[in-house]
Amino acid sequence: MIPGNGLFVTATDTGVGKTVVTAGLVRSLRKKGFRIGVMKPMQSGHLRTDPEGDGMRLKNWTESQTPIDRIVPYSWSLPVAPGLAAYLAGESVDIDWLLQEIHMMVQINDGLLIEGAGGWLVPIGNGWTIADFAAAIGWPTLVVARPGLGTVNHTALTVAAIRQRGLSVTGVVINGSKPEDPSPDLPYNAQLIEEVADVPVLGTIPWLGDTWSPKELEETILSHLNLTPILHLWNRKEEIAHDHLGTSDPTSS
Ligand SMILES: Nc1ncnc2c1ncn2[C@@H]1O[C@H](COP(=O)(O)OP(=O)(O)OP(=O)(O)O)[C@@H](O)[C@H]1O
Ligand SMILES: [Mg+2]
């Protein structure tokens, strides 16, 4: 396990909202006094300097001063799983080197958020998957899930697969709920995920529309997610007390 305060962000599928949630969490945790770093170790679909790619989005949305090649050590232009993108480019991922980069990044921060790629069993080359990579890092995980029908099953399967690798799941974030969506399961899915997967749901982030600002994302995360399990993980008791006062126990001041 890499020493330091880290969190590995995965999801039930690609396109569920890892980048948006990770960027929002970096900003929100910073607001609570942490110096937070962010990485997307393997990015496919966009080269690292492409502003539409996850790395540049994470860098811009979090206003990070870290050079992009530290945030995104590997990138490929093909929009396929990292293992296949690397293979088709005639390359392979050097896991030991990646682990060293992560080690360096976590050392210089109070906390480091790592965005995976796609879902939990996405191939990254040489028979490895994101699960193997996350297990080599050894950090607790956060699962980003869809709001709608199918999410209880997908989330519970992902949580079970993570625990099978001996890693903990700090919580689930449901991302992209649309208040106008009439689907009758929506108000129940968070509770059903907690029951079926036995995991805390930190909250539900609404769909912010086509245009939103990083500040708006930060405010949405701070008002819709319970960050206490993450703060607890990183053992900042002072901040946890503050978070409790701010969100769940207005009578105890
Ligand atoms: N809550 C939201 N409100 C508005 N737009 C969102 C929200 N969540 C995600 N999006 C948009 O949906 C798309 C997919 O989200 P995102 O890129 O975060 O998914 P991802 O899980 O990181 O995907 P990948 O597997 O490619 O890394 C992006 O265009 C993103 O800006
Ligand atoms: Mg992403």
Mean pLDDT estimate for the chain? 93
Which residue's entry shows tokens 């708006």? 216
The ligand 1 atom at the shortest distance from the C-alpha of residue 205 is 1
Cβ(169) – ligand 1 distance below 6 Å: no
pLDDT digit string (tens) for 218-235? Answer: 999 999 999 999 999 987
pLDDT digit string (tens) for 136-163? Answer: 999 999 999 999 999 999 999 999 999 9
Residues with CB under 5 A from ligand 2 (ion): 18-19, 54
Which residue in 11, 35, 36, 12 sits closest to 23, CA to CA? 36
Identify the pLDDT of residue 235: 75
- Residues within the annotated binding site? 15-20, 44, 54, 115-118, 206-208
Identify the pLDDT of residue 246: 44
pLDDT digit string (tens) for 183-213? Answer: 999 999 999 999 999 999 999 999 999 999 9
- Say whether 40 is catalytic: yes
Alpha-carbon torsion angle 135, 162, 53, 36, nearest 10: -70
Of 41-45, 46-50, 178-182, the range with the lowest mean pLDDT is 178-182
Identify the pLDDT of residue 43: 98
Residue 249 scores a pLDDT above 70: no
Identify the pLDDT of residue 241: 54
- Residue 141 near residue 9, CB atoms below 8 Å: yes
Residue 237 scores a pLDDT above 60: no
Give me the domains of the chain, ranges plus CATH numbers: 6-247 (3.40.50.300)
Query: Could you give the CA distance from residue 207 to residue 224 in angstroms, rounded to a whole number?
Result: 12
Cβ(57) – ligand 1 distance below 6 Å: no
**Ligand nearest to C-alpha 209:** 1
For residue 57, count other CB atoms closer than 10 A to its CB.
20
| Sheet order of strands, 201-206 included | 36-39, 111-115, 6-11, 141-145, 169-177, 201-206
Identify the pLDDT of residue 239: 55
Identify the pLDDT of residue 179: 87
Beta bridge mates, 142: 9, 171
